[in-house]
Structure 1
Amino acid sequence: MNQVIELIQADVKKPKPKASELGFGKYFTDHMFVLDYEKEKGWHSPRIAPYQPLTLDPSALVFHYGQSVFEGLKAYRTEDGRVLLFRPEKNVQRLNNTCKRMCIPPLDEELVLEGLQQLIEIEKDWVPDQEGTSLYIRPFIIATEPYLGVRPSNSYKFLIILSPVGAYYAGQLSPVKIYVENDYVRAIKGGVGHVKTSGNYAASLLAQKKAEELGYDQVLWLDGRERKYVEEVGSMNIFFKINGEVFTPKLNGSILSGITRDSVIELLKDWGVTVREERIAIEDIYTAYTKGELEEVFGTGTAAVISPVGELNWNNHKMIVNNFETGEFSLKLYHAITNIQYGKAHDKFGWTVEIK
């Protein structure tokens, strides 16, 4: 990294919302990190600037052909007032992996991490200190070239914006209800299901709306070819505890490589718990349920961390998991990860980065 990050201070600072009013993704801090790309210059002009609207040409390629990628991570306030990031280098690596799939020039990972840390240092006062709250971090890239034609853009804008947030789900550790989707398909191997590109999420909205109308919180997707094998939930990877063993769908080219997922697997192995990354047929989950062997189901993701699942609905077969109560295993994992994130426990894995 040999580029100097410019700081442009906001003239007027926003009032900070009360912790009880945060919700998720409603409020944004005073500054953002910005980096531009032009084919002749590469990525250039790194700066921290006031949070403000963007001006884009109506023909900007992002509007018409969907070249847009993003990431999501958090900053956490410890009891002694420090601010910690959780495995940020993994998010930047995954962002570059997404860029590769979407024909976007790779970012200088060192520059991005430095820009992120400087931005959070400036916005430290926005990191909330109430239990369960955090500062959500959204890095993203959009194609900005004004051109109508199906090809990669010659110009891009990379930004990092920050949002103080509460729990992703209102009840945080209250079990959620999941609808298993049979009609719509999220992704197939060879597509873009394994990366964080905006179109993935737009394509999921109709099925999500259907699930909500039926009284469910999220959609569990099956594979796009046979509609048989479990893949992931709309905003989470999925885990099943069956007869004391933990199962999760293996990464197959259409499932996102979740950083919380990876952290859970590392934790479980450290605890001596068997973790099986396999193709998992939804019918086998139902069979385990009918035999009384399905002990717990939980999702993992940056937003919710660990989200216990209390009900699965597959072909109108309602599986009530653990009497619709939060399982001991899910609770143990939640506390193990969040205690590291909030600096309450020793970080033996070296996952946290302190903002100085």
Structure 2
Amino acid sequence: MTAERGDRTPLGRPGRVLTALLCALTAAGLYGCSDPGPREPTPTPAPATTAPAPATPPATASAPTGRSPFTGLPARPAPVLAVKIDNVAAARPHTGLGAADLVYVEQVEGGVTRLLAVYSSRLPELTGPVRSARESDIALLAAFGRPVLGYSGAQSALNPLLTAAPLRLVTETTAPGAFLRSPDRAAPHNLYLRPDRALATDPRAENARDIGFRFGPAPAGGTPVDSSAVRFPAARYTFTWSAADRAWRVAMDGREARATDTGPLTPETVVVQRVTVRPSGFRDRYGAVSPYTETTGSGTALVLRDGRAYEARWSRPSPAAGTTYTTPDGAPLAFAPGQTWVVLAPRG
């Protein structure tokens, strides 16, 4: 894993500390750690380096053979790993986000956000910091078939729902060798996942499949934009167009977002998907009600690509179905090939 000059890896000084720690852990046979921390109390009962594309795939068809259905770029068929990522200030800068095919932004307790990073085309050496799952993740990941989900744990009352879902669950308890704790950060912001080891826990994992994304030339129209901001109750994201990168530079709470191994985060497409965020039947350890983000149904969205903003509609009839994005007149709205961020923003 590499790090930009001036960045620290999650394990201390770039390269040397990481290598030493990995070697020491391997020699000792200790790849993971014990329980990630105190369990949340039972909640009140409630009623988952590619080459440039030589040609652009059609906007109206799913990704053809040899291309990722998540990025539209050349890729070999590979299984899917989703990882729940911490996103408070103490968890930044992240590690491994630059390699994700797809990143979802979800609201959690207190109005802050967490990220759900989806990997298939390529895997970083490490990703994290890893945090706990939420009920919303179950429906969100249903479109991916049976992905592997890496997370730090969940409320005890949520565990039966996670176990019953079509997910391969990977935690420190189920796969200690897939995790490590960084001595460079304080718990709970110090848990990192080894993606290759997480995927190795499920040899029968399904390969990436169509989740509704379409890639191709930009549609006609759109509004030129230099930047676009999205606010949550206690978090703010700004996406600024970089002509040099042909991508959007991400800022979180007013500061540039970076990965320790790849530098600035620069998705080619950003989808601001307006959704209903309502109370769930679960609470965190402090008694705060966990929000539930509804990702089925339909609504409006703003799609950012190529320095322009496009008003769109999204539709997902059931958890097993993919999400389609269309122009106001109903035509498929193609994304720019590359990494996509989907910001699940509260309506209004």
TM-score calculated relative to the size of structure 2: 0.23
Normalising by structure 1, we get a TM-score of: 0.23
Answer with 1 or 2: which has the greater Rg: 1
Higher relative contact order (CA 8 A, sep 6+): 2
| Larger proportion of helix | 1
